[in-house]
Structure 1
Amino acid sequence: MTDRRVDLLFDARHIRQSGIGTYIATLLPSLEETFTQRGLSLAVLVNEHAVSEVRHARIVTAAPAAMYTVGEQRVWGRALDEVRPRGFWVPHYPFPFATLSPRHRRTKLFVTVHDTMHVREREISGQSAARRAYARAMFMLDGRFATLVLTPSEATSATFAAIAPRARTTATPIPVDEQWFEPVDRALSPVAEPYLLYVGNAKWHKNLPLLLMAFGDVAGDIPHRLVIAGSGEALRGGDERVPALAAALGDRVEVMGRLDFDVLRALVASADLLVMPSLHEGAGLPPIEAMASHTAVIVADIPALRETCGDGADYFDPLNRSGLAELLRTLCRDSQARAELGERGWAHVTARQKGLSLTPAAEAVADALT
C-alpha cells in the first residue's frame, strides 16, 4: 500500500442484507474493474465479521452498526478519519455528517437512493411522522451536498428531484445477476407444486395484504398455495396486518425465511407465477429475476415497475383487490397463458440485460473523481 491518498471509500457493510446487499454485491466487481482500469485506488468499508470479497481494494473494518443510527454516523466518521479518501460512496440515503466537518469538507460524497418510500404517507411507507421527517431531512442534505446521487430508475430520480430540486442525479438501472440465467435444479425447491410466489419483506409499501386477500378470494377455485419468501423472518417488523391474514388462510400459505441462493432460484423457477403487489418501489429486482427463470410475472401498475418490467409482465391496480383476484384466477387456470407470459418475460429480461451493467454507476463516480 502506498502513501497516496485513497480515491474512493465505498461502504459495503450491508452486503448480507436483502435489497441493498444485492446492489452492493453486484456493484463491487464493476467498481473494482473500473477503478483499476482508470488507475484509481479504492477502499471498502466492511463489518468485522462480513468481509467483502475484493481483489484490488483496501479493506477497512468497522464494528457493526445499524442503519439510521448514531452508531452508523460514528462508523463513517472513524473510517473517514482513517482513510482520508477523496470520495466517499454511501449506498443508501442517510447523510454522513462527518463530511461537513472541516477535516472532510473537500471529500466528494456519492449517495445511492434506491427509492423515496420513506417520505411517503403512512398508508404506503408505514413510517411515523417523525421517521418521515428524518428521511426528508436526509434526502435534502443528500441533494444539497452530494456530488452525485445515483438511483436505480428514472422513476426514482424524478421523485427524488421533487424532494431535492438541487440534486445532481443519474439513473443507473440494476442488471440481473448472471447466475439467474444459468440452468437451475428445480428439484431443490422446498415447496411442492403448484404455487404462487411472493419474494420480499412484509413492509407496508410491499402491499402484501392485497395479495393475501385476493388469494383468499380465489383459493377455493385453484389448487395453488401462496408462498411468501423473505429475508430472515419474512413477517417480522413489517405490516402488522400480514401475520393475521396469512394465519387465516392456514396451510394454503407458506412463509419461508432466508434461503440459500440455489434453493431460492429453484423456488422461483418452479413457481407458476411471481406476484409483486407493491405500492412503491425503486426499481424491482424479483420480477426480472423471475423472468430470467422463465417464470410468469404479474406486478403492480406503478411507474418504477413499468420501467423495469416493460412488456415482460402483466399489470394490475395495486388498490384493486377484485382485479388482482380475477387475474390470479385466470392465470392459475390457464397454463398456456402462463407459458406465453413467461416467454414474454424471458424476451424482455434478456434484451434488457444486453444493454445494462453497473459499470455506468462506477464510471459516473470515477468521472467525478478525475
Structure 2
Amino acid sequence: MRVLIDTTFALRGPSGTGVYLARLIDALQPLGVEVVEAQNTARRAPAGGGWRSALNAGTDAWWTTVALPARAAAVQADVIHHPLPAYAPRTRTPQVVTVHDLAFERVPECFDPAFRRWASITHRTAARHADAVVAVSHTTAMDVRARWGVPEERIVVARHGPGQEVDASRPRGGASHLLYIGDDEPRKNLGLLLAAHRLLRADVLTAAGTDAETAADRNAAPPLVLAGTARPPVGHPRANDGIHVVDRPEPETLAALLNDAIALVLPSLHEGFGLTAVEAMAAGVPVIAARSPGLTETCGDAALYVDPYDPQDLAATIRRVTSDRALRADLTERGRRQAAELSWVRAARAHVRAYNLAADG
C-alpha cells in the first residue's frame, strides 16, 4: 500500500505533531507501507490572527484543493493521510484524518473565539467527510462520535508510543528538579504549576526562617525546569524563584532532564493523549497530572492526579512525591508497566487498519 502523508506541520519545528509524524513514519515502513511525504513549503508559521492568518488560510486551501490531490495522483497513492483534520475535496483518493483532541470545544475559554469557530467547523467537516478517522485515544474517539457525529465504524483508535526512544535500563539520576515539557498556551494551565511552586517556596522559606540555603537543603521546593517553549509571565522572577527555562531542548538534553527529574508535572486542562507522560513513564519518571479524561486514560493508575484548578492540591501532591522515596519508587514501577502497553509499532498497525478501512470504501 502506498500512502501519501501530508508532513507540512513537521516544518514548524519540534512539536507533538512533528514527533507523531516522525515516529509513525518510521514504524509504518516495516509493515509494508510505502510512505510518500508531501509538504506545503509555502505555508508560513501560525500568525495569531490578522492578514497573515488569512494568507495562511488561502495557502492551506490551495494546498488541499489543488496541490495535494495532484501529488496524490502523480504518485498513484492508495490513501491520503492528513495528520491534522483537513480534507481535499477534489480527489477520488480515499482520505484518512487524525484527530488529536477537541480541546477547542472541551475548554473553549482557552481559545480565541475566531479560531474556535473556525476549528469547530473545518475540523468537524474534515472528520465527517474522511473515509476513516484515526483517534489518538478512546477519549478523543468518544468526543468525535458524540460531538461530530462520526460513526463508530469509521473510527480507529491508535494510541501513541513514547515521544522518543528511551533507555529504560539507564539508572535514574539524582532526582533534582520538577519538570514541565511543552508550551504555555492557556489550556496547558502552566499558571497552576507556577502558583503551586510559589506556595512550596513560600512554605519552605517560612519554615527555614527565610534562610534560602537551609530551605534548599530541605529539598521540599525543588527547582522547576520548563522545557520547550513555555515561559513564565513577564516580570516573573524565574531563576531567583527556582525556575529555569530550557528552550526547545534537543533529544539528548531532554533525556538528561527526564533522567534527573523528581517528577513530570502535567497541569493541562485537557489533552487528547499525554505524549510527554508516556515518555516520562517509560523513563521511570513519576508523573503528576491534572485529572482529565485524556490523561487518566493514558496514565491509568501510574500517576498521581490533582484538581486542575487547585494550586494547593498540586503543591501538596508535589510535597508527597518529593518527600516519599517509596512512593516515587512505586510510581516508577507502575509507570514503566503502563508505558510498556504503548508503542509506535502498535500505533502503526492501527493506522494500517485505518488505511485499509478507507481504501476498501
**Residues 302-347 of structure 1, C-alpha deviations (whole Å, 9 max, x = no match):** 1111111011111111112211111112221222322222222122
CA contact (8 A) 2:175 2:259 kept: no
| Pair 1:204-2:186 in alignment | yes
**After superposition, where does 1:193-232 map in structure 2 within 5 Å?**
194-220=176-202, 221=204, 222-230=220-228
C-alpha RMSD of the superposition: 2.6
CA distance in 2 between partners of 1:234 and 1:290 (Å): 18
CA contact (8 A) 2:162 2:276 kept: no
How far 1:177 moved relative to its partner?
A: 5.2
Residue 9 of structure 1 is matched in structure 2 by: 4
Residue 152 of structure 1 is matched in structure 2 by: 136
* Aligned with residue 321 of structure 1, among 294, 311, 328: 311
**Residues 24-44 of structure 1, C-alpha deviations (whole Å, 9 max, x = no match):** 0111023333344xxxx5421
CA contact (8 A) 1:9 1:87 kept: yes
| Pair 1:30-2:27 in alignment | yes
Letter of the 1:29 counterpart: D
Q: Describe the SS at the equivalent of 2:322.
A: helix
CA distance in 1 between partners of 2:111 and 2:163 (Å): 31
* Residue range with higher mean Cα deviation, 166-175 or 302-311: 166-175
Residue 68 of structure 2 is matched in structure 1 by: 79
**Residues 91-146 of structure 1, C-alpha deviations (whole Å, 9 max, x = no match):** 012x23xx223xx2x221211011111234443xx322211110110122123211
How far 1:249 moved relative to its partner?
A: 7.0
CA contact (8 A) 1:140 1:164 kept: yes
Q: Describe the SS at the equivalent of 2:272.
A: coil
**Whose helix proportion is higher, 1 or 2?**
2
CA contact (8 A) 2:134 2:351 kept: yes
CA distance in 2 between partners of 1:29 and 1:360 (Å): 14
* Aligned with residue 262 of structure 2, among 272, 276, 285: 272
CA contact (8 A) 1:113 1:151 kept: yes
CA contact (8 A) 1:66 1:72 kept: no
Letter of the 2:265 counterpart: V
CA contact (8 A) 1:312 1:349 kept: no
CA contact (8 A) 1:198 1:229 kept: yes
Q: Describe the SS at the equivalent of 2:346.
A: coil
* Residue range with higher mean Cα deviation, 352-361 or 213-222: 352-361
CA distance in 2 between partners of 1:185 and 1:341 (Å): 15
Residue 238 of structure 1 is matched in structure 2 by: none
Unaligned runs of 5+ in 2: 47-55, 205-219
CA contact (8 A) 1:65 1:72 kept: no
Letter of the 1:17 counterpart: P
Residue 46 of structure 1 is matched in structure 2 by: 39
- Structure 2 vs 1, CA of residues 368 and 141 (structure 1 numbering), >3 Å: closer, same or farther? same
Q: Describe the SS at the equivalent of 2:259.
A: helix
Unaligned runs of 5+ in 1: 1-5, 48-61, 236-241
CA contact (8 A) 1:7 1:369 kept: no
Q: Describe the SS at the equivalent of 1:118.
A: helix
* Aligned with residue 175 of structure 1, among 161, 165, 171: 161
How far 1:256 moved relative to its partner?
A: 1.4
* Aligned with residue 234 of structure 1, among 230, 237, 245: 230
CA contact (8 A) 1:194 1:223 kept: no
Letter of the 2:116 counterpart: R
Letter of the 1:225 counterpart: P
CA distance in 2 between partners of 1:110 and 1:19 (Å): 19
Q: Describe the SS at the equivalent of 1:14.
A: helix
- Structure 2 vs 1, CA of residues 345 and 182 (structure 1 numbering), >3 Å: closer, same or farther? closer
CA distance in 1 between partners of 2:71 and 2:344 (Å): 40
CA contact (8 A) 1:143 1:165 kept: no
How far 1:251 moved relative to its partner?
A: 4.1
Residue 339 of structure 2 is matched in structure 1 by: 349
* Residue range with higher mean Cα deviation, 71-80 or 295-304: 71-80
CA distance in 1 between partners of 2:60 and 2:240 (Å): 40
Residue 93 of structure 2 is matched in structure 1 by: 107
> Normalising by the residue count of structure 1, what TM-score does the alignment of the two structures yield?
0.80
* Aligned with residue 243 of structure 1, among 225, 233, 236: 233
CA distance in 2 between partners of 1:185 and 1:330 (Å): 22
Letter of the 1:46 counterpart: Q
| Pair 1:88-2:80 in alignment | yes
* Aligned with residue 283 of structure 1, among 273, 290, 308: 273
How far 1:292 moved relative to its partner?
A: 1.1
CA distance in 2 between partners of 1:246 and 1:269 (Å): 27
How far 1:147 moved relative to its partner?
A: 0.5
Q: What fraction of aligned residue pairs are identical, expressed as a percent?
A: 30
> Normalising by the residue count of structure 2, what TM-score does the alignment of the two structures yield?
0.82
CA distance in 2 between partners of 1:72 and 1:210 (Å): 35
How far 1:300 moved relative to its partner?
A: 1.0
- Structure 2 vs 1, CA of residues 198 and 90 (structure 1 numbering), >3 Å: closer, same or farther? same
Ranked by relative contact order (alpha carbons within 8 Å, sequence separation 6 or more), the top structure is 2
